[in-house]
Amino acid sequence: MGLSQETDEPLSPSGRMFLRPEFDQIIHCVIGFDCEIDVEAIKLEMGKSAMVQHPRFSSLFIRDRHGRERWRKVQVDIDRHFIVHEGPIVGDSVSDNIITDEDSVNNYIADLSVSSPLDTDKPLWEYHFLKAHKCAVLRLHHSLGDGISLMSLFLACCRRYDDPSQLPTILTAGPPGERSKGLNPWKGLWKLAMAAWLTVLYVFELGMRILFLKDKKTILSGGNGVELWPRKIATAKLILEDMKVVKKSIANSTINDVLMAVISSGLSKYLKLRSPNALPEGHRITGVAFVNLRKQPGQLELSQLMKSKSKSGSWWGNKIGIVLLPFGYQVGGTTTDPLQSLRWAKAMVDKKKLSLESLFSHKFGVLFMSCFGPKVATSVIRRVINNTTFTISNVVGPQEVVTLAGHKIAYIRVNISSFSHAISMHMVSYAGKADIQILAAKDIIPDPQVLASYFESSLQEMKKAAIDQIRIRE
């Protein structure tokens, strides 16, 4: 593997933070196939792909003689990045001593999520192939990029199943300002004032979280050191069409509103199961959402992202903000009015979107990194995590079924290595499906599959209520 000092590039502030030993974040992209895996075919395709040619995926993380962190361009030995397991993965069963392919894959990733760093003597990514389970796990260090940029680059390696000559497409929001056409000037001023007030309010709360404000302890609570505890993973499988039906029940609702409602309802049911009568109505638990601050590329020629000096190259990297999501415990769950969770979620998310909380947290983080370095900045982020209850993220995947080196992809799922939260939830939408990977510290949450079933049942309850409401309107 040849080294070239002439092409050394400095790490970004966020890249330095993600590479701190106490905050070593690795993304696991789980790719399920509906056919036997031809590893050599995938290796051949990846060897000439935009991903392997991308500067970040063909560079070593090094420290120069002055101790400065750098990316150093190398010649990639792709064989070192492919790890193949021929036989079945043995792991814990979830019921009746029956271990399904999904259980085996989830057990494998749960083990990887705790204290399984990537080797720094090669670029910080690797493919694990579980041939007996028709699955691949793409491990990517978070310093390489955020969810949108990494998903976009992965999709640049794929093709549409119905038209192999075409790249996948991703739903995108309309152009900035599209919704404000014809806005009344007085309403515009009121909206601006509200945005300013909410930003101040939410930034103040974020500051309090860093200093001392902490969620009261529940059976979901983690804490410092919990990131090293053994993990379990369960998958909640939602249908996007069902979520679309639910969002139609309340004007201007979004899929993200429905996701928040499902999470709120499911967590309330689980809390009621594990600690009945222990929590009062409205008891607050707080989630941390890591929000991408840029739009998906949509029809953009994704392979252009590899050109670091091009306009699209400046789009690359980690551009993430933090948003705190307050969830209120519902003693009655969704038994009386399943859509109440959606009304609450929409009101909460609308306020969060109106504020500049995520942008401020990103700018503050960059400034803090520049002034005090990655060690202090990392400790600040860890305090936010230790003082809240769970992590949640949502990444939009392709609308169509896609293939990788001729292999039809059945599902795409994502999670990241462990935080000090006892529970992390990561949703990825793909070809009409939305799978939530629930990563839980198994000594605190021993049955994440129960929580997954609550998420699924909550969506079905909301769908039924939404259909009934639509019928009444008609």
The arithmetic mean of pLDDT across residues 65-74, rounded, is 85
Q: Look at residue 18 in the predicted model and tell me its pLDDT.
A: 86
pLDDT tens digits along 86-128: 988 876 555 556 788 999 999 999 999 987 889 999 999 999 9
The domains of the chain are located at: 5-160, 183-396+418-473
For residue 336, is pLDDT > 80? no
pLDDT at position 333 is 53
Average pLDDT over residues 412-429: 93
- Mean pLDDT across the stretch 427-444? 95
Q: Could you give the 3-state DSSP secondary structure of residue 73?
A: strand
Pairing of strands 390-396, 82-85: unpaired
Q: If DSSP codes are grouped into helix, strand and coil, which group holds residue 46?
A: helix
Higher pLDDT, 459 or 173: 459
pLDDT band with cut points at 50, 70 and 90 for residue 385: very high
Residue 38 tokens read as: 């031809």
pLDDT of residue 173: 45
Q: Which of 54-63, 181-190, 433-442 has the highest mean pLDDT?
A: 433-442
CB-based contact 426:440 (threshold 8 Å) = no
In a 13 Å sphere around the CA of 144, the CA atoms on its Cβ side amount to 32
Tokens standing for 291?
Answer: 């929000």
pLDDT at 184: 63
For the chain, the farthest-separated pair of C-alpha atoms sits apart, in whole angstroms, at 73
Residue with tokens 């933090």: 322
How does pLDDT run across 239-253, given as a tens digit for each residue? 999 999 999 999 999
Residue 286: which pLDDT band, with cuts at 50, 70 and 90?
Answer: very high
Structure confidence at residue 19 (pLDDT): 87
pLDDT the model gives residue 55: 87
Distance CA 232, CA 221 (A): 16
**Fold match between domain 5-160 and domain 183-396+418-473:** yes
What token pair was written down for 121? Answer: 């003597």
CATH number among 3.40.50.170, 3.30.559.10, 3.30.830.10, 3.40.1010.10, domain 5-160? 3.30.559.10
Total Cβ atoms within 10 A of residue 454? 23
Is residue 179's pLDDT more than 80? no
Beta bridge partners of 430: 433
Q: List CB contacts of 25: < 8 A, sequence separation 6 or more.
A: 18, 141, 142, 143, 416, 417
Mean pLDDT value across residues 12-40: 90
Whether the per-residue pLDDT at 318 is higher than 90: the answer is: no
Q: Which of 37-51, 167-181, 412-426 has the lowest mean pLDDT?
A: 167-181
Q: Of 180 and 222, which is predicted with more confidence?
A: 222
pLDDT value, residue 174: 39
User: Does residue 137 surpass a pLDDT of 50?
Assistant: yes
Structure confidence at residue 470 as a pLDDT band (50, 70, 90): confident
Q: What is the CA radius of gyration of the chain?
A: 22
For the chain, give the mean pLDDT. 86
What is the model's pLDDT at position 95?
A: 52
- DSSP for 216-257, written as a single string: PP-TT---TTGGGS-EEEEEEEEEHHHHHHHHTTSTT--HHH
Read off the pLDDT of each residue in 147-151 and give the average, rounded to a whole number.
85
* DSSP class of 175: P
The per-residue pLDDT for range 262-280, each reduced to its tens digit, is: 999 999 999 999 988 888 8
Phi/psi for 307 (5° steps) reads -85, 100
Rounded Cα gap, residues 378 and 22, in angstroms: 8
Question: What is the CATH code of the structural domain delimited by 183-396+418-473?
Answer: 3.30.559.10
The most confident of 34-43, 182-191, 269-278, by mean pLDDT = 34-43
CA atoms of 343 and 339, how far apart (whole Å): 6
From the list 142, 407, 421, 426, the catalytic residue is 142
pTM reported for the whole predicted model: 0.90
**Beta strands at 82-85 and 125-130: parallel, antiparallel or unpaired:** parallel
84 with 42: CB under 8 angstroms?
no
Neighbour-count burial for 72-100, b at 16+ CB within 10 Å, e otherwise: bbbebebeebbeeeeeebebeebeeeebe
Residue with tokens 């003597």: 121
pLDDT of residue 415: 92
Work out the average pLDDT over 46-64: 88
What pLDDT does residue 295 have? 62
Signed CA dihedral, 18, 19, 20, 22: sign only: positive
pLDDT of residue 450: 97
Instruction: Tell me the mean pLDDT in the region 364-386.
Output: 88
Please state, in angstroms and as integers, the Cα–Cα distance from residue 465 to each residue in 249, 342, 433, 470, following that order: 9, 11, 21, 9
Q: pLDDT value at position 54?
A: 86
Task: Tell whether the model's pLDDT for residue 320 goes beyond 90.
Answer: no
Question: And the tokens for 32?
Answer: 């399920």
User: What band does 181 get if pLDDT is binned at 50, 70 and 90?
Assistant: very low
Q: Pairing between strand 284-292 and 390-396?
A: parallel
Nearest-10 Cα torsion for 69, 224, 280, 213: -60
- Determine whether 142 is an active site residue: yes
Percent of the chain at pLDDT > 90 equals 59
